[in-house]
Amino acid sequence: MRIQSLSTNEQYWRDRYGMPPRIEERQLRRHPSRLRRWRRLTNEAARLHRTSRWRFHMSFPGRGILLKWSLAVVSTIWLASAAVVVFNRSAADATTGYAVATRIVPLVTGMIQKPVPSPPQDGESLMNDFAEANEASLVALRGFVLTGGDGFRSEWQRNLDQLEAAQAAMAKDSRSWTDGARLLQLSQLQKTAAVLIAQEEMVAGLVATPNRFPGLRLYNEDIDPVLGDATRLCDRALQSIMASNWAGTTPGIDALAGLRGSIRQLRDGLAIYLPSAGKDMPADLQTAYRAVRNSNATLAALRGKVSPADQAQLDRLALQLRSVGGKLDQVLALKQTQRWDYADYAFRQKVLPLAEKISGTLGSWRSAS
């Protein structure tokens, strides 16, 4: 049976009934060579189509049954593999099901409910925390005052934060108290703790600063520069008096040279004595100090024995030594007291009593409970 392509059959019926050719045929008929190539291609396509269909029929006579069996085998293999995977996952989940549940359930419930807060501490535990933070901050601050180490300062700051946290926790817990007397004691305890924290911060701020030794700061800023100027003024006065050749100035020169030596000795000795921990003044320093304090009499004995220009320099020297004498007395007197090291003094006189007061109140509460 001869099989023609759709385009060939259509053209056959168009030619038989005298119908005009298709549009593409019209175009091809304008060019005979194109028409011949077109017909040759269509005939070749029809022949190949017929041959391929015959070969397919001869090679695979039962293609429909084979396709169905292939689909059935593939489906069976896929179902068997899925069953094995599901079985293995079920066995693994059976051993780790509780762990998975413990991880997933809190996560899901946490999206719906807020986390349950931890149970509040009892009063005994709060008092212990407050007492431990109070003692620990006291010890760390003492170490910082004695050594000035940064480690002690960090430890003191950490314990001070714990003290404030313990105080806040106790104040929150007091809302459920029924003892009015203890509530009043707690109010006083909070005031004491506030003063204690302020005093501790003041003491920590004094360490490693010039304000720790107010007397030494006064000496370095107001006294030592004046003593240096007095020494230089003595030098110029001595040079001027010796160059003037006034009669009877030899005793005055000797007294002025001795005063200059006493000022230098006093200045050098105070630079060592004042920063030291000792309170007793060395003997040679005491001698130099008395000579400078009696300088008015020494300079008054030279009046009228030097030139007017030299007398003016001696008057300036006497004024400088008088202005510095009173301040120097205050510094040396402060050196003999506990206030010389004001950080140590404030710790002993202000911080320590407040901390002991807090410890006593907490101790009485623990013994009464």
Over residues 241-282, the pLDDT tens digits come to 888 776 666 777 888 999 999 999 999 999 999 999 899 999
Give the pLDDT of residue 38: 63
> Does residue 244 lie within any of the structural domains?
yes
* 231 and 194 in a common domain: no
> Does residue 297 lie within any of the structural domains?
yes
Give the pLDDT of residue 1: 41
Over residues 65-94, the pLDDT tens digits come to 666 666 666 667 766 665 655 455 555 544
Flag whether the pTM goes above 0.85: no
* 276 and 162 in a common domain: no
* 221 and 199 in a common domain: no
* 323 and 249 in a common domain: yes
* 230 and 146 in a common domain: no
Out of 183, 203, 223, pick the residue that ends a domain. Answer: 203
> Does residue 298 lie within any of the structural domains?
yes
* 225 and 162 in a common domain: no
> Does residue 355 lie within any of the structural domains?
no
Neighbours of 349 (CB within 10 A): 13
Give the pLDDT of residue 110: 46
* 226 and 166 in a common domain: no
* 239 and 188 in a common domain: no
> Does residue 78 lie within any of the structural domains?
no
* 291 and 244 in a common domain: yes
Domain range for 266 is: 214-340
Give the pLDDT of residue 311: 87
* 250 and 199 in a common domain: no
> Does residue 281 lie within any of the structural domains?
yes
Report how many domains make up the chain: 3
Out of 171, 203, 235, pick the residue that ends a domain. Answer: 203
CATH classification of the domain holding 275: 1.20.1440
> Does residue 171 lie within any of the structural domains?
yes
> Does residue 349 lie within any of the structural domains?
no
* 276 and 224 in a common domain: yes
* 270 and 329 in a common domain: yes
Mean pLDDT per 10-residue run, the chain (369 residues)? 49 62 55 65 66 48 59 67 55 46 41 45 82 94 94 95 93 91 93 96 94 95 95 91 74 87 96 93 95 90 83 92 93 94 96 95 86
